[in-house]
Amino acid sequence: FALSVLFALNSYGQNCIPDGQFTTPGVFPDSVTNLPISYVGSPYNETITAVTPADTCVVIVFPPCVTVPVDSVMVTSVTGLPAGFTIVSMNENTLPFKFLGGTSSCMLITGNPTVGDTGVYPISVSGTSYATVFGLTQTSPFDVDYYFIRIVDTNSTTTGIEDFSKNTFEIKQNFPNPFSSTSTIEYFLPSNATLNISIVNVLGEVLISEDLSGNQGLNTYKLNASKLNSGIYFYQMTYQKEKITKRFIVNK
């Protein structure tokens, strides 16, 4: 009982509560799970859990690296949210958000989407991490750009989900396209299955090949252009004996 009261007192006034199932350093949901769909007419309320590491390994001059404490991580910018959507941290209502090293914290995205908001909204979260190296504060910028919120209208005949057949393997054109860093591919599977995605250049050379574990229904894949130069490419998804190919453009 005493622990319950203490937890309630500590939670009182907080904007969000971190998801306790996540204990390894990182941001959750990850790029595979991503943010849930937002439906027109229904309030949107999604918590992002941030687990900040207590330390990190830094190469000072030559390898091996040296373990140094992480002081904090500061989120200074969140861009791309739909109109009327807001984001707060566990204890802060305005940016920047500060997450101390070795702690679990969270951010909360809320909003009330309308019919005019339907669409896909890529979101970018950026900031700086701080670590102490030999008594001196060192900084390192970061950028999380794989999140997106898809707003759909269930009363519309073109919500995006209904565009997929429930009994066939289908993929949509990646968005955004062209892109410079990351883009999202949505695909639909009639059953849980392993499939393959390959990135091919205009000469037909396979540059990247990856096996994916997909679930029955709507899935997403994050297309990363970090190892690709500007140009025209193709992605091929193979499910059982079916192969679908679509073109995309990298513009850096």
Per the domain annotation, does 8 fall within a domain?
A: no
The answer on 66 and 125 residing in a single domain is yes
Per the domain annotation, does 236 fall within a domain?
A: yes
Spatial CA neighbour of 71 closest among 49, 92, 102: 102
> pLDDT (tens digit, 9 = 90+) per residue, 46-65?
999 999 999 998 777 778 88
The answer on 183 and 147 residing in a single domain is no
Percent of the chain with pLDDT over 70: 90
- Domain range for residue 225? 170-250
The answer on 24 and 89 residing in a single domain is yes
> Does the reported pTM lie above 0.85?
no
Is the peptide bond preceding residue 69 cis, with omega within 30 degrees of 0? Answer: no
The answer on 31 and 73 residing in a single domain is yes
The string of DSSP codes covering 68-91 is EEEEEEEEEEEE-PPTT-EEEESS
CATH (domain of 184): 2.60.40.3080
Per-residue tokens: 191: 């059953």
Counted domains in the chain: 2
The answer on 194 and 111 residing in a single domain is no
CATH (domain of 119): 2.60.40.10
Is the peptide bond preceding residue 178 cis, with omega within 30 degrees of 0? Answer: yes
Q: What is the pLDDT along the chain (252 residues), one digit of tens a residue?
A: 444 444 443 445 689 999 999 999 999 988 777 888 888 899 999 999 999 999 998 777 778 888 999 999 999 999 999 999 999 999 999 999 999 999 999 999 999 999 889 888 889 899 999 998 888 898 999 998 888 888 888 776 544 544 556 678 888 888 888 888 888 898 889 899 999 999 999 888 899 999 999 988 888 899 999 999 999 999 999 999 888 989 999 998
Report the mean per-residue pLDDT for the chain. 87
The answer on 131 and 95 residing in a single domain is yes
Per the domain annotation, does 88 fall within a domain?
A: yes
Separation between Cα atoms, residue 89 and residue 49, nearest integer Å: 10
Per the domain annotation, does 32 fall within a domain?
A: yes
Per the domain annotation, does 163 fall within a domain?
A: no
Burial (Cβ within 10 Å: 0-12, 13-18, ≥19) of residue 242: exposed
The answer on 80 and 39 residing in a single domain is yes
The answer on 211 and 127 residing in a single domain is no
